Structures are given as C-alpha cells and as structure tokens.
Amino acid sequence: MGTRFPAFIAILALGIVPRAHSQNSASAPPSYLMRLVHARSYENICVLVRADGQYHWERETAQKTEIFEGTLASTDLQRIQHWLAADELFDLTDDKIVRPAAAEHDVQLILSVHRSGYWQNLTFPVLSSWEPYHESIVPLVDWLEELRKVKNRVKLREEAARNNCLPPPKLELKTRPH
C-alpha cells in the first residue's frame, strides 16, 4: 500500500465530522446517524449511515476500491441505534480513550455519531483501545465486517461515488450585491 496508506489516514483524520455543526429546532431530523472507519495496513473500510437506514460503504486495498450503497433492514437500523445509545458510548469523549504509549498504527478506528446538535467524534488508535466497549464499539465493528457480505446493495463506480464515507458539506448560498 506504500504511499497510499499515510495519505488515506490523513484524509480520514481531516474527514472527522465537524463538531460545531448544529441544527435549529425547526429543521428536519438529522440526515446522518453515524460514520465508522476501520483503517488497517492492508485494507480500509468505512460506512456512512443515514437516519433512514440508507448507507454508503467503501473498501480500499492496494489493488482496488469497492463502493456499495444500500438500505439497512429496519432490525439492523434498530440494532445500530441501540449500540449508539449505550451509556458507555454516549458519555465517552476522545480524552477518555486509553492510548497505549507505544501504539502501533496498523489498526485504527474512527467513529462519528450524530448527537442532538453536535457530532461525537472518537478515535481509537489500536484494537485494545476499543475492546472494553462491549455494548457499543465491539458490536459496531462486528457489524461493519458483516456488511461486506450483504447482497441487496448497488455497486458504484469509484470515479462517481468515492467520498471516504463523508457526508456532503452543507451548501449555503449567499445573496451577493449587484
């Protein structure tokens, strides 16, 4: 993977969903539920899940990039919502995550969860940093692995669909004086 992997990690780090984004109370429910990235030395997988169950999934290796989109079954969406609502995750902040002094960089997990008025952004540098979270992070990672086997999804072309599982930026048009 050579030079592609460090560049991908930089994109992932820059791609953490902005924390300051908020919505006014009159707006519609949040369009995105969560973003999960699992980066390894040999493969990077990410998923962006909308509140209505639609998802965008990407897998990158040194040889190829695969991109799929689909809609989760309501039971799967409910499971994800349950994991995201777990107390151990809801109250977790990045500074509470245990980071080994000599952290290896062959595994990294990034989770961004939409909360009321903000995004909760968490970075786990190694497997041991997310293993203690059995009610939330561990099942989310297992689900991400299961998602690669899902059949009822649409395969997309890389050129047209690759976005590192980032939500589109909010477009704000401004009136300009003539």
**151 against 75, higher pLDDT:** 75
pLDDT above 80: residue 55: yes
Q: Would the pTM count as exceeding 0.95?
A: no
Residue 172: which pLDDT band, with cuts at 50, 70 and 90?
A: low
Domains of the chain: 30-161 (3.30.1560.10)
Which pLDDT score is estimated for 152? 76
Indicate the Cα dihedral angle 85, 87, 93, 96, nearest 10°.
-150
Which pLDDT score is estimated for 151? 79
Residue 11: which pLDDT band, with cuts at 50, 70 and 90?
A: very low
- Mean pLDDT across 47-66: 94
Instruction: Write the pLDDT tens digit of every residue in 15-54.
Output: 555 544 444 444 554 489 999 999 998 999 999 999 999 9
Instruction: Write the pLDDT tens digit of every residue in 86-142.
Output: 999 999 999 999 887 766 555 699 999 999 889 999 999 988 899 999 999 999 999
